[in-house]
Amino acid sequence: MNANETVELVWLALNSPVGYMAAAGILLWLLNRLYAEKPAWAAYEGTIISGIKFAEKEIPDGTENSGLERLDLALKYVLNVYEALRGKRASGATEADLKEGIQIVHNRLEVAGTL
């Protein structure tokens, strides 16, 4: 069997219903691996919600820059929990990711009317 015959056999196998199904399965597997990845803050979503609610109670509405103060307090809360669970301080990238998660979850809670 030479190279041309081998290529023809592979081509025939790929152009069969089984070949199409195998190619589709591999493509779906690759897409699931690509899109199933969640952001790092998703693992701490419950802690983020607790931090947001804690900050909402601790800092009254009339405070100057209350939004920024609440974000800062919620971030400190989440970072303290992160450090207690992991045993080490969060890196700068992780801290930025958690801050982004706080903002996203806060918006979600505000739209849902649960704040």
Q: How confident is the model at residue 75 (pLDDT cuts 50, 70, 90)?
A: very high
Q: How confident is the model at residue 14 (pLDDT cuts 50, 70, 90)?
A: confident
Global pTM value: 0.66
DSSP-derived secondary structure letter, 39: P
Tell me phi and psi for residue 17, to 5 degrees.
Answer: -55, -35
Determine what percent of the chain falls in helix, strand and coil, rounding each to the nearest 5.
80, 0, 20
Residue 53 · residue 115 · CB < 8 Å = yes
DSSP-derived secondary structure letter, 65: T
Q: What is the mean pLDDT of residues 92-97?
A: 91
The radius of gyration computed from the CA coordinates of the chain, to the nearest angstrom, equals: 25
